[in-house]
Structure 1
Amino acid sequence: KNRTEINKQDEILSSDEEYYSADEGPEFDRYCYTCKQSFKYPYLFKRHQKMK
């Protein structure tokens, strides 16, 4: 029982780490969550946001 609780805590921590690292990474800068569309280049993404 304790082992599964510890594993869940590890999963939560690792997902938090992934979230924050993705937040700073280049992938995050090029993904539009409202359109579910990923852009190859950051400038395309910025242009896309201005057009909305």
Structure 2
Amino acid sequence: MDRKKMDKRDLALSFADDPELYDFVRVGYPDELFKCLLDKVQIKEHQRVLEI
């Protein structure tokens, strides 16, 4: 598949077939962001967080 000719929707759908590509192009989050979030919401050790 020629990625240069793909539109954004086609590329997004291709991630289901190529999870390594998704991992490669996905922007990560800085550790400071998680620290700030945890400080703000005061998550306890036994609680879970869901990213949507």
Tell me, yes or no, whether TM beats 0.5. no
Scaled by the length of structure 2, the TM-score of the pair is 0.30
More helix by share: 1
Per the normalisation by structure 1, the TM-score is 0.30
The structure showing larger relative contact order (alpha-carbon pairs under 8 Å, at least 6 residues apart) is 1
